[in-house]
Amino acid sequence: MPTQEIKETDWQQFCERFEEAHRGALITLDVVYHDGTTAMLARNEPLRFFRFDKNSGCSDTIVMELGGAGQVTQHEIVEPIHLRLRATQGSQKILEIDAESGSVEMHFRSGRIGAMLKDFEATSPEEMGREGGRVVRR
The predicted-structure confidence for 46-98, as pLDDT tens digits, reads as follows: 999 999 998 877 889 999 999 987 889 999 999 999 999 888 877 789 999 99
Q: Give the structural domain span for 45.
A: 4-108
* pLDDT tens-place string over residues 43-59: 999 999 999 998 877 88
C-alpha distance from residue 16 to each of 34, 89, 99 (Å): 28, 25, 19
User: How deeply is 1 buried, as exposed, middle or buried, from its count of CB atoms within 10 A (0-12, 13-18, 19+)?
Assistant: exposed
User: For the chain, how many structural domains are there in total?
Assistant: 1
Question: Phi and psi at residue 18, in whole multiples of 5°?
Answer: -60, -45
Cβ atoms of 111 and 30 within 8 Å: the answer is no
Q: Residue 22 falls within a domain, yes or no? A: yes
Three-state DSSP state, 124:
coil
H/E stretch holding 19: helix 11-22
Bin 90: left if φ > 0, else alpha if -120 < ψ < 50, else beta: left
